[in-house]
Amino acid sequence: MPRELDEKDIAILKKLAPECGDLTCSGSGHMFHSILPPVSNHFSEDSEDFIRRLSSLGDDELTYITDLIRKGDESLGCLPVEDVEALVHLIHDRLSPEVAQNVISAYESGNACEH
């Protein structure tokens, strides 16, 4: 499922993690292939910080990410469970219960963490 981040992806990543200097994972040395895992695992201090960052997105940006998740283009496999739960609550509250359920289904489909 690795993908190359496009300009829109990079803009959202930089909005969520302005301290992101480059697009390389410090742990693996590989380029980031998703938006949420680096924000969760490299830049957020905890789940509260993760959700605070995601809350800065507009509904159109959040919808874009959920569309990527539903298509299997955005990885949730590397996120801690508490960050996935926080994401689902945000989507439920901001977009809809149906979209939140779609994200849960995508998460439960079991895409493993890819490095």
Question: Confidence class of residue 29 from pLDDT cuts 50, 70 and 90?
Answer: very low
Reply yes or no on whether the pLDDT at 35 is more than 80. yes
The answer as to whether 115 is a domain residue is: no
Question: Tokens 């509260």 correspond to what residue?
Answer: 48
- In this structure, is residue 33 part of a structural domain? yes
Asked if 93 and 56 touch (Cβ cutoff 8 Å), the reply is no
Q: Is residue 2 domain-resident?
A: no
pLDDT at 86 over 50: yes
In a domain, 113, yes or no: no
Residue 13 within any structural domain of the chain: yes
Count structural domains, the chain: 1
Residue 100 is part of which domain span? 7-108
Phi–psi pair at 46, nearest 5 degrees: -165, -175
Average pLDDT of the residues in 51-66 = 97
- Residue 89 within any structural domain of the chain: yes
Residue showing tokens 């994401």: 87
What is residue 93's predicted lDDT score, i.e. its pLDDT?
A: 97
Question: Which residues touch 77 (CB under 8 Å, ≥6 apart)?
Answer: 37, 110, 111, 112, 113, 114
